[in-house]
Amino acid sequence: MSSSLDSHTSQTWGGRFSEATDAFVQEFTASYSFDHILAHYDIQGSRAHADMLAASGILSSDDLKDIHRGLDQVLTEIDAGEFHWQVALEDVHMNIEARLTEIIGNAGKRLHTGRSRNDQVATDIRLYLRAAINSIQGQLRRLRAGLIDQAETYADTVMPGFTHLQVAQPVTFGHHLLAWNEMLARDDGRLTDCAERMNQCPLGAAALAGTSYPINREMTAKALGFTAPTENSLDSVSDRDFAIEFTAAAAITMMHLSRMAEEMIIWTSAQFAFVDLPDRFCTGSSIMPQKKNPDVPELIRGKAGRVQGHLVALITLMKGQPLAYNKDNQEDKEPLFDAVKTLHDSLLAFADLVPAMKAKPDSMRRAASLGHPTATDLADYLVRKGVAFRDAHEIVGTAVGMAETQGKDVGDLSLEELQSLSGLIERDVFEVLTLEGSVAARDHIGGTAPRQVRAAAERARAKLSAV
């Protein structure tokens, strides 16, 4: 079952070994099949490293020119799909280095001076994730903008607000959509924090102890857009906190998207009929011609669990590792890469869907009229008349019971019926027992009054523009 390693592998690390790596072990330990996604970032890091080595007098100017020329060709081959990935070369780094050496000769071997694959991959992942966060935040902010626009459109549209999925009080649809935006604003902030904490450069930490060569880590950090080099070489190569932190932020964001999806799914059902989703985001049934299934929200709800699983995988991966680098860390990439793609695509889908979602105000209003939604307003009315809140609560509870026996809403009780419960109730009570009166009364920051919803939308848009 054993096979000989090719010359590239032997040149890279094979000097210590007296027999070839088992063919199965080669395949089992190889990572090029998924870490090739880091190729652009690996080449970016190599360019910066080569420039630093030349500036430090470790590489000649001719070697530097050859390295840049060779890396240009490697990148062109990768982008064109012409690059030949080799399992014996294990990973993206060794595959690129071997091909570079084929193109430019011994100068390609000198590129690795003062670094290890350990600090190389730690740098590559940070470069990759920094770019990924930027792209993800672009989609996240597009979704937030769509929610804010929709909130303004539906600032006056009354719908039921729920607790325990029971009608509690009337709110406006715009107010509900701005609640979604608040969730996503916190997610946006977590991603920004993650990117800031991650933006330190491990390159130059080498395998674990640094290097004896006179390198300039500040130069490579600056060239790659990092704020500073990492402080400790042991931690530099073994740290994956940034990947875990991102995946935690991604899991929370996906949880929020799942909550949004759940409400969309409920709202599109015939029993609610609160919103209509565009046909292009739905599918039909192979057997029931009347069906319109909310597949996109359902799939996002399912994908949330996938990302949460990746978070658990990464935390578990790291929990038993001693310093410094261990082969275990090869398992950090697939969960991270999938979390990035899943979050990005889910946000993209919702950023396209939300602006096209249409409310059904009549259905929302009918639903908001059920379940005594203005009962709390009656209690507040009594409190303003001087009744202690606990006493007002009891009076309104009695009123609800009276309405229930008659099969009607508390707001439909007659003045005489209400006055039989409290002599303080006057005809003006009916001004607060309407749905519009109820939402209009919540006229403060954070409240559901249409005036406040529009003001909140303006503030949200200003905050979004400032990030």
User: What amino acid positions are annotated as catalytic residues?
Assistant: 164, 285
d(CA 308, CA 56): 45
Q: At 247, phi and psi to the nearest 5?
A: -65, -35
Dihedral sign from CA coordinates of 421, 423, 424, 430: positive
Radius of gyration of the chain (CA): 31
Dihedral sign from CA coordinates of 18, 22, 25, 31: positive
Q: Are 138 and 192 in contact (CB under 8 A)?
A: no
Q: Are 71 and 78 in contact (CB under 8 A)?
A: no
Q: Are 363 and 273 in contact (CB under 8 A)?
A: yes
Residue labelled with tokens 């319109």:
292
Structure tokens at 140: 């996240």
Bridge partners for 276 per DSSP:
358
